[in-house]
Structure 1
Amino acid sequence: MLKGVHSMKEAEARAGEALRRLLEKIPILQIEDIEAAAVSGDWRPDLVARLLVDGREHLLICEYKSNGQPRYARSALLELRNYVAQRAPQATPVFIAPYLSPAVRQLCAEMGVGYLDLEGNARIAFGGVFIERMVADKPAAEQRELKSLFRPKSAQVLRAMLREPDRAWRVTELSEISGVSLGHVSNVRNGLIDREWASASDDGLVLSAPDALLDAWRDSYTPPAGERLRFYTPLHGSALEGAARNTLGTQDGQGHAAFASFSAAQWLAPYGRTGTHYFFADEDGLHKLQVALKLSTVSKGENVVVTVPKDLGLLADTLEPAPGAICTSPVQTYLDLSIAGERGAEAAEHLRQERLSWPK
């Protein structure tokens, strides 16, 4: 127990030091002291900063949390606001954490609470003082956490949930449908709840902010690992489309392939044609496409691009909007378009409006 208290005190001391460094830069401000509040049964702030501003005393009432995710931030902000309203109405509440995402910073602003994180993001306003600092980069730990939430195994869980965004899921159901272990599903569940992208109800886990989840996925998305092969086909127009649909539509357990990227978007939410045709396929599916579309390998001038992904879960997450027109799911197609340059970004937005709009 003592060890926990000791490390918390160290963390509070770091928070106090970060606050001191920030305030020292303000010429009209004099710091009288920054002290840790006494521990007691009632809720107490972690730090109280006594300042002189143009000779007038002002208090900053600060709460430090070692995790700044929305779920933890929201309760801290409410406690801070209530404490200030009841005990120190002239004081300014300030929330401090190792890192605060843009969503949490916005939450602080909406609730009228100042903030500071140990990465250097800050916004504190009172009297004649206004401090605002933004640091562009997400810290490495936050990037790692987000990346792990969107890695192939976790992504299979997210895809299942986004296919039925209104459904409440038991962890066991998600594990079965996504083919991912219970422990891994639990990690995804915790990550979603911490960020307030999902909430736990009596019936199970429900997505509460599918748009915010998809935004974050898009922002950290990188092309699927695997081989990207370039080919030339002599087929055009309806001959090409017919040959592709015949091949994709006869997937007899041996070999899987699907329209992807711009080619999937043509079926899901058409938006301007492109001269290149895109597919995802496994090794057997690739062979079938090579035969059916008379593909020859080229170093330039390709009009067919086939990705053979390491994560074959991508080929399990498909739709068939017309007979034989097997396409990567709207979510996967959206992600792939979002990194396909300017035209891709426009096609992605169009697809999102048509196929991925959820009631707010």
Structure 2
Amino acid sequence: MVTEKEIINSIKKNIRNLFESTDFIKVNSIKSEVKNLFPDQQIQPDLIVEVKTKDKKKYFIVFEVKSVGQPRYTRMAVNELKYMVSSRKNYYGVFAVTFISKESKQICSENGVGFIDLAGNCLFKFDNVYISIEGRPNLYPNTRPLKSIFSTKSTRALRVFLCNPRKEWFVKDIAKEANISLGQASNVKQRLLEFEFIEETGSGKNSKIKLKKAESLLREWSNNYSYQKNKIRNFYSMDDVEVLERKLIDYFKKNQISYAFTLTSGASRVSPFLRYNRIFTYVSNNIDRIVKDLNFKEVSTGPNVSFLEPYDEGVLYYLQEVNGVKVVSDIQLYLDLKGYMKRGEEAAEFLLERRLKKQW
């Protein structure tokens, strides 16, 4: 991980060239390890750059540096900058980080604070000065701060939050509901707080957590998910889809087999959008027996029924029943549809607008 000291050194090395290449800003001085600049405040800046504009105005650019740029830390830095400069004339606050995310850019912009990262992306906007550089790639792409949130067991906790979007939870209750350890639940909580996907309510022992940015969390998860994580077996039957679905439903009930329709078969029941000629259903076990009893033929092309073996028990969390038929949760359905060909993404967005947003 890049340290704050390394970020400060990078700014000191490059900031003069950035400003003076514009022909309307001259750098007078660069100071780090600033102490007692604001005697009346406990917070002190990490770096101050004194500049003079073309019209002879002097400004002090105050930098607050963080090695990580998750929204929660960005907001903390922004609040510190505002506290330092808000009552001082010709002072401008800038957040510096390894790499600036879209969310962190928005936080800075909303609060009138600039930003800069090690890739050279930046925004300086004060008086008549406007410098903006965007689109430069992360120089440290191996840092994937969200990866741990989407590990198999961690996503069980995500399902609990997203399927119960208005409920407040103690961490121990999340662990129990998601069937994960207390330690795992605590780690997920911390990561979700860092990205402001959830928020804390209350304080001390009475502190609970609840969902804050449901849509952002779901979209981020969908970018890290594919229904093909599940083991898929494909079959063909001579029956048409409507008859075949009825046969499957009756068979599952008669033989007490756990199942849940998904993709086109699930969407047709909760948020009809697509025509389809292929059935998708989760089945945890007994697939060979089902295939034998219903005389299905396993095929590599042209299937009209596909069985998905869940990659984790969380897939079947919060099942819903629609007219006597079991369907995966709306959250799981969205995830599955999002990466499905044949207009699956459109169906996922239709589900989001028609059902999920109303629950949030």
What is the TM-score of this pair, normalised by structure 2? 0.87
Larger mean Cα displacement after TM superposition, 20-29 or 147-156: 20-29
Distance 1:247 1:174, change over 3 A: farther
The match for 2:212 is 208
Q: Does 1:175 align with 2:171?
A: no
Task: Give the Cα separation in 1 of the matches to 2:136 and 2:263.
Answer: 30
Task: Give the Cα separation in 2 of the matches to 1:359 and 1:60.
Answer: 44
Task: Give the Cα separation in 1 of the matches to 2:179 and 2:150.
Answer: 16
Q: Does 1:35 align with 2:39?
A: no
Structure 1: state its 5+ residue gaps.
1-6
The match for 2:224 is 220
Task: Give the Cα separation in 1 of the matches to 2:91 and 2:339.
Answer: 46
Q: CA deviation at 1:328?
A: 1.6
Q: Residues 245 and 279 of structure 2 are in contact (CA less than 8 Å); yes or no, is this contact kept in structure 1?
A: no
Q: Does 1:12 align with 2:8?
A: yes
The 5 Å alignment of 1:101-116 reads 101-116=101-116
Runs of 4 or more above 6 Å deviation: none
Pairwise CA RMSD: 2.4
Q: Residues 119 and 136 of structure 2 are in contact (CA less than 8 Å); yes or no, is this contact kept in structure 1?
A: no
Distance 1:8 1:302, change over 3 A: closer
Q: CA deviation at 1:25?
A: 4.0
The match for 2:266 is 264
Q: CA deviation at 1:13?
A: 2.1
Corresponding letter in the other structure for 2:12: G
Larger mean Cα displacement after TM superposition, 261-270 or 20-29: 20-29
What is the TM-score of this pair, normalised by structure 1? 0.87
Q: CA deviation at 1:137?
A: 5.2
Deviation readout 1:26-69 (Å, 9 max, x if unpaired): 34333233211523462222111122332623321111122222
Task: Give the Cα separation in 1 of the matches to 2:30 and 2:18.
Answer: 12
Distance 1:29 1:105, change over 3 A: same
Distance 1:249 1:25, change over 3 A: farther
Q: CA deviation at 1:96?
A: 0.8
Q: Classify the secondary structure of the residue corresponding to 1:39.
A: coil
Q: Classify the secondary structure of the residue corresponding to 1:125.
A: strand
Task: Give the Cα separation in 2 of the matches to 1:114 and 1:176.
Answer: 43
Task: Give the Cα separation in 2 of the matches to 1:20 and 1:304.
Answer: 64
- Number of aligned residues: 348
The match for 2:62 is 61
Q: Residues 45 and 61 of structure 1 are in contact (CA less than 8 Å); yes or no, is this contact kept in structure 2?
A: yes
Q: CA deviation at 1:288?
A: 4.6
Q: Classify the secondary structure of the residue corresponding to 2:28.
A: strand
Q: Classify the secondary structure of the residue corresponding to 2:22.
A: coil
